[in-house]
Structure 1
Amino acid sequence: MDVHAPHEPIHGVKDFLLHLLTITVGLLIAVGIEGCVELHREHKLVSEARATMREEIQSNSESMNGAVANLEKEDKAIANNVDVLTKLLRNPKDKQVQDSNIAADFSIVGLKDTAWKTAQTTGALTYMPYAEAQRYASVYHEQQSFLEMQDKILEDEAQFVGVMRKTDFGHGDITKEQASAALEKFGVWQAHLSYLVLSAKVTAEDDKAFLEGRAGPQHMHYDLH
């Protein structure tokens, strides 16, 4: 923005006031135009952030719906492992129990957060109403909690593999010592998985609530076996 001095000498107060008025009007117009441009930029930034985050949450919602069903199956499998190992710990010579299947599978669920991180980096969230920005933060917070809990299951899986290597678990009948070592690891795994199922349900419901324009879940519980 450039402000130029008058090209001709000022003659009297009238000329001075006229030049002052001209400069003032020019400055106001320039400031107004600059403000409109900035406001348009902010509106565009927020609009793009809303669209990309909604698309991202929609994608994550679809992933979470499938994750809940898979995790419930895995939860039942781990509960069965605990039941089998508990019986073997009491009676390792029970041939029928020895022939039972022990499953230790876990599937990783990937969730997107690029649009959320971009909205933070560009400052788009600062131009949104506070309540709206908080709603987005809540959705992605639940997602992050799920991912962190998921990492614990990976550690549990690694711990069980360690037991298998150390005790030669899975080769021949399971001894009382092997059952005890494996049962401890599966017990922790079961607890973490139960919490993960709850986290998945909360995340899935929160995503769905957001997409439908309503508040997220306030209270959910899960019974540990």
Structure 2
Amino acid sequence: MHFEVPKLPMRGVKDFAKHYLMIVLSILTALGLEAWIEHVHHRHAAELASHQIETELRANLDGLQATYLTNQKRIASLQQLDQAISTDIRANLPANTINQHIQARKAQFNLSLDWPIFGNQAWDVAVANQSATWMDSTTLNNYSAAYSKQRDAANWMTQDSTLFLDAPLMANLRTRIDLGREIDPIEFVSVLHQMIITSTETQSHLKQVGSQLKSAFSSEKGCN
């Protein structure tokens, strides 16, 4: 910051006071202008970061919705298989007859779930260059909660999503079915229920993330 005050000859206290006042006003003006420029810079940086974050979150939500719909179709297939074989068991059909029905529908015995890729680069940049700190508190809290929910859901997917699943038994049944060997219908339905529970839990987490993402910006896009 640099300012120049006109050099005038001083004649007494009055001229000195005027000269002093000019210096003070010049300093205050310079400081005010500097603060205004800095405020404008911070505001523009926050607006740019907010735009980039919302673009990223909307892309995340679009990917989540597509994944959710794909998974729903696969869950419906598992539920149809469960209903058919459970009906056979309740009707006390012979095990070999039930095994024939399982063989006819073995393609449906498949746990295949998609998980979206959640971008977080815009948020990381906003935190790194401190533009996040120049946003209003409500907006900042909404963004922070959205990215936190994404991380929590991703951690659940990688660490806890298979807690309800007996993976060795599922692999054993899959192998026997592929080889055309007879299996225990009750064991089959038991594993099938585990697969359905795992799938619906995954969908529940996706739905929670979707709700949090929608709350991060005003224009809501549903997750059915």
Question: Displacement, 1:146?
Answer: 3.5
Q: Which residue of 2 aligns with 1:24?
A: 24
1:112 aligns with 2:119: yes
CA contact (8 A) 2:165 2:194 kept: no
Question: Displacement, 1:22?
Answer: 2.8
Check 1:186–1:17 CA distance in 2 against 1; reply closer, same or farther (3 A cut): farther
1:47 aligns with 2:54: no
Residue-pair matches, total: 215
Runs of at least 5 residues in structure 1 that lack an aligned partner in the other structure? 221-225
Residue 183 of structure 2 aligns to which amino acid in structure 1? T
Check 1:111–1:155 CA distance in 2 against 1; reply closer, same or farther (3 A cut): same
Question: Displacement, 1:76?
Answer: 2.6
TM-score normalised according to structure 2 size: 0.70
Q: Deviations over 1:41-72 (max 9, x none)?
A: 11111110121112112212221221221121
Question: Displacement, 1:115?
Answer: 1.4
Q: Which residue of 2 aligns with 1:200?
A: 206
CA contact (8 A) 2:173 2:183 kept: no
Question: Where does 1:49-198 land on structure 2 (aligned, <5 Å)?
Answer: 49-79=49-79, 92-94=95-97, 95-99=99-103, 100-101=105-106, 102-152=109-159, 155=162, 160=167, 164=171, 168-170=175-177, 171-176=179-184, 180=187, 187-198=193-204
Runs of at least 5 residues in structure 2 that lack an aligned partner in the other structure? none
CA contact (8 A) 1:85 1:183 kept: yes
Question: Displacement, 1:11?
Answer: 6.7
Q: Secondary structure of the residue that 1:112 maps to in structure 2?
A: coil
CA contact (8 A) 1:46 1:124 kept: yes
CA contact (8 A) 2:161 2:198 kept: no
Question: Displacement, 1:96?
Answer: 2.3
Question: Displacement, 1:122?
Answer: 2.5
CA contact (8 A) 2:139 2:216 kept: no
Question: Displacement, 1:8?
Answer: 9.2
Q: Deviations over 1:8-41 (max 9, x none)?
A: 9977534543442232122112211210111011
Check 1:23–1:161 CA distance in 2 against 1; reply closer, same or farther (3 A cut): farther
Counterparts of 2:82 and 2:163 in 1: how far apart (Å)? 14
Residue 122 of structure 1 aligns to which amino acid in structure 2? N
Check 1:141–1:192 CA distance in 2 against 1; reply closer, same or farther (3 A cut): farther
TM-score normalised according to structure 1 size: 0.70
Counterparts of 1:152 and 1:75 in 2: how far apart (Å)? 21
Q: Which residue of 2 aligns with 1:223?
A: none
Counterparts of 1:164 and 1:54 in 2: how far apart (Å)? 42
Residue 96 of structure 1 aligns to which amino acid in structure 2? Q
RMSD over aligned CA atoms reads 4.2
| Percent of aligned positions that are identical | 15
Q: Deviations over 1:127-171 (max 9, x none)?
A: 222222222233334433443343357757996378527995443
